[in-house]
Amino acid sequence: MIPFNTTMQRFRKRTAMGMLAMTVMTIMACTVSCNKDDSGTPPPASEQYYTLAAWADEPQYLASAPSLTEGTLSFVGNGLEAEGSRYLWHKNYVYLMNLPQKRFIQYELGTDGSITEKAYILTDGVVPNYFQSLNVVDDNTLLVLGAVDGNRGTAGWARIKVPEFEVVDKGTLEVPFDEANPGVEFFVGRGYADNGHFILGGYFYDNASGAYASDGVKALVYDYPAMTNMRVIQTDVTSGGIGYDYLSSLDTDEAGNHYFVASAGKYWTGNGGNSGIVRIKKGETQFDPDYFFDVTSQVGRAACLMGINYVGDGIAFGTVQYEELMTHVRDRLQNVGQVVKLDLVNKIATVMNTPLSPVAMVRSPLVQDGKYYTALCIADGEAALYEFDPSGGADSFKKGLALDAGGWVQVQLIAPHPAN
């Protein structure tokens, strides 16, 4: 018979060991609470995929779909998380400015629908905050610009070689600033390089009065690639900012002429004047004095033109937001926007009979094969991509890919993958 003391000692030992084991096992057994299932449902086979970036609750998601014209895209269990508000699509890549990480990220779009983060650039080497303006200056070069201390006379820029995604040159450039009126800041917008010059849009904001400060329409002209010798060019056809930085506010036609969106709305870079399109002809460094496409007058309802995408043969599609329906700038995310067809040659605007939505906030719509694609994400309603045919009239559009986002989604970018 085993003595009682020995039994107790064994029991104590076992209990102690058991407790130790329990501690270890409890911890080891619970190794993962995030069940990292990376199998993901692969998108169905397609000849060409498309990446969509969208807000769906928080943050934003990048996901691909096999078609723009049919099916449903959901971010449930699908997509890359992204935190940014500046997107650029160029060739087989999407570029994203991730704000909380201060990273400018390059994603490669695969023929199989994949979206792969390839590399990133830190903004700190160029500007202290983030790249505000993302521009393609030629097939192999991006030019990014960002504020240096609220653009008090200086902005930062970097030229990035792509697809290698390396900064090859960087510096600062002068932007308008009046020491006598220091509350007025210039915010850099979109720009383009042409004939040895870089022509930059933007807008002025008066911090003292809390309102946009517009006096005519201004663009900045620099020597390119030096980014020096700033000159301000101006037209007084209306009064507002041009080339808003994160919207599709600048495009070029077949002849190489450049069209800037001039937004003169009181809720968008202006003071409530007429909005429309201004032109700078190919190779020139002055606004075309004979060209102003007054969209507001034709569309009515205090429509403020927000973006354009050139389709071809003098036709572009654009978006307006009706300031009559707005009481402050936050209303831009309500159902106040509509798509318009713009005949740039004859200066005729046709309001498409689409439902009202925040469509003007789609930052990077797509033109492909002569069609225009954007997203109508009706606030508190359904969300879908729409295809617009420039050859038809106000009803020449059709609903395509639906977005399953539970009532609130905002598409930011539509970008094609390379075709199989």
Partner 1 sequence: MLSFYAVAQPPRRDTRADTAIRSVQLDEAVVAGKLATTLLQQQPYAIDVVDVGAIRGQNAALNRLLDRVPGVRVRETGGLGSDASYTIHGLSGKSVKFFIDGIPAEQLGGAFGISNFPVNTVERIEVYKGVVPVHLSSDALGGAINIVTRQDPQPYLDLSYAYGSFNTHRAAVSGKWYHTASGFTVQGNAFFNRSDNDYRVWGTGVEVADVTGRPIPGFSARRFNDDYTSYLLRTEIGVAGKRWADKLLFGTSLSSIDRGIQTGRTMAFVFGSVRYDEQTVMPSLTYAKTGLLRGKLDVEIYGSYSHVEGHTLDTSSVKYNWEGRGISTGVHGEMGGIYAQKSSYRFRDGTALWRALVTYRPSERQLLRLAYNSQALSRRGSDALALAEWTIPLRFPQHLYKQVAGVAYELNHGPFKHILAAKYYHYRGRSNAYDYVDTDQRELIPVHRAAQDWGLSYAGRAMLASGTLLKASAEQTMRMPDPVELFGDGTSILNAPGLQPERSFNANAAVQHHFLLGGDMLSIMGGLFFRDTKDLIWLGEGTHLGTARYENLSRIRTVGTEASATYHLAQLLEITTNATYQDIRNRQRYTAAGTPNLVYNDRLRNMPSFLASGEVRIKSTGGLLDAGAASLYLSTHYVPEYYLWWPSLGTPSLKTTIPAQFVQDVGVSYRLKRLPCQLTADCHNLFNRQVYDNYLLQKPGRFISMKINYQLTSK
* Residues in region 298-337 near partner 1 by CB under 8 A: 327-330
Site for partner 1 in 204-243 (CB under 8 A): 207, 209-211
Among 119, 136, 333, 351, interactor with partner 1 by CB under 8 A: 119
Residues touching partner 1, count (CB under 8 A): 83
Site for partner 1 in 232-291 (CB under 8 A): 266-267
Q: Please say which residue, 212 or 373, places its beta carbon nearer to partner 1.
A: 212
DSSP-assigned beta bridge partners for residue 164: none
353 scored as a contact of partner 1 (CB under 8 A)? no
Among 2, 3, 31, 290, interactor with partner 1 by CB under 8 A: 31
Q: Please say which residue, 212 or 372, places its beta carbon nearer to partner 1.
A: 212
Q: Please say which residue, 58 or 138, places its beta carbon nearer to partner 1.
A: 58
Left if phi > 0, otherwise alpha if psi is -120 to 50, otherwise beta: which for 390?
alpha
Least Å distance between CB 90 and partner 1?
Answer: 17
Tokens coding 12: 């104590």
Question: Which among 112, 106, 29 is positioned nearest to 66, based on CA atoms?
Answer: 112
DSSP-assigned beta bridge partners for residue 376: 384
**Alpha carbon distance 236, 234 (integer Å):** 7
**Alpha carbon distance 401, 378 (integer Å):** 14
| 327 close to 334: Cβ distance less than 8 angstroms | no
Q: Is 198 helix (H, G, I), strand (E, B) or coil?
A: strand
Among 67, 78, 286, 396, interactor with partner 1 by CB under 8 A: 78
Least Å distance between CB 279 and partner 1?
Answer: 28
**Alpha carbon distance 336, 238 (integer Å):** 22
| 176 close to 220: Cβ distance less than 8 angstroms | yes
Q: Please say which residue, 13 or 398, places its beta carbon nearer to partner 1.
A: 13
Least Å distance between CB 60 and partner 1?
Answer: 10
DSSP state of 278: E
Among 1, 2, 3, 40, interactor with partner 1 by CB under 8 A: 40
Site for partner 1 in 90-109 (CB under 8 A): 99-102, 104
Least Å distance between CB 165 and partner 1?
Answer: 8
| 338 close to 320: Cβ distance less than 8 angstroms | yes
Q: Please say which residue, 150 or 216, places its beta carbon nearer to partner 1.
A: 150
Site for partner 1 in 173-192 (CB under 8 A): none
Q: Burial, 137: exposed, middle or buried (Cβ in 10 Å; 0-12, 13-18, 19+)?
A: middle
Q: Burial, 382: exposed, middle or buried (Cβ in 10 Å; 0-12, 13-18, 19+)?
A: middle
171 scored as a contact of partner 1 (CB under 8 A)? no
Q: Please say which residue, 37 or 179, places its beta carbon nearer to partner 1.
A: 37
Among 1, 2, 3, 36, interactor with partner 1 by CB under 8 A: 36
Least Å distance between CB 158 and partner 1?
Answer: 7
141 scored as a contact of partner 1 (CB under 8 A)? no
381 scored as a contact of partner 1 (CB under 8 A)? yes
**Alpha carbon distance 80, 412 (integer Å):** 14
Least Å distance between CB 85 and partner 1?
Answer: 7
| 295 close to 349: Cβ distance less than 8 angstroms | yes
Least Å distance between CB 317 and partner 1?
Answer: 27
| 320 close to 340: Cβ distance less than 8 angstroms | yes
Among 6, 10, 15, 118, interactor with partner 1 by CB under 8 A: 15
Least Å distance between CB 266 and partner 1?
Answer: 4
Please give the single-letter amino acid code of residue 244. Y
Left if phi > 0, otherwise alpha if psi is -120 to 50, otherwise beta: which for 139?
alpha
**Alpha carbon distance 135, 270 (integer Å):** 23
